[in-house]
Structure 1
C-alpha cells in the first residue's frame, strides 16, 4: 500500500472537486462527502460571507442566519485577510 502524505490527500480532493461539471454533480458529491451538519455549517459560512460582502452588519446577519458572533467574526477575518477565495467566487458570481 502506498502511503499518501497530507499534501497529496488535499490535492486529490481539490482535483476531484474540479472534475464536477454542474450544480447537480456538486450537490451529489458533497452529499456523499459530508455529513448534514458539515454541509449546513459550510452553507451558513458562505451565506455569512455573502452578506458581509454585501455590507450587512453583524447583528442583522446574526438574526438572519442564526450564525454565532464568533462564526461571523471568523468569516469576516477570512474575507479581509484570507487567501482571497471568497472574493474570487463572489466576483465570478456577479459577472453571471
Structure 2
C-alpha cells in the first residue's frame, strides 16, 4: 500500500508490513478530532491512548530543554519513558521532529 513518493527511509523494517500499512491508511482517513476519538476508543485501550499522548507531551518538553525531573512531575512519565522518547526525538526516524514542527506551525498560525 505504499504510495509512489512515500519514503520509508529511516523507518524500522520490522514495523513495515501490510497490516501496519492498512492501519496507517485508516488513520489518514480520519477527518476530525471527534472521528479520532471514536476510532481510537474502539481500537486501543484508554491506557494505550494516554501513553501515546504522554509521550508526545514528553517530546514537547524535551524539545524545550525541560529537565527530566520536571517532565516526570508534569506528565507522570517514568525516567525510562522520558529517556526513550529523548532517544527517538534525537536519533529516531524524525517522526517526533515532523509532528512537533507541524504543531508549532499550527500554534503560531492560530496566534496571528
Q: TM-score, normalised by structure 1?
A: 0.89
Say if 2:47 is the partner of 1:42. no
- The structure where helix makes up a greater share of residues is 1
Alignment partners' CA distance in 1, 2:58 and 2:69? 11
Return the offset for 1:35: 0.5
Count of matched residue pairs: 91
Aligned match of 1:93: 103
**RMSD (Å), alpha carbons:** 1.1
Structure 1 unmatched ranges of 5 or more? 1-5
Alignment partners' CA distance in 2, 1:50 and 1:32? 27
Say if 2:29 is the partner of 1:11. no
Alignment partners' CA distance in 2, 1:28 and 1:56? 33
Say if 2:51 is the partner of 1:65. no
Aligned match of 1:55: 65
Alignment partners' CA distance in 2, 1:35 and 1:23? 17
Aligned match of 1:3: none
Return the offset for 1:30: 0.7
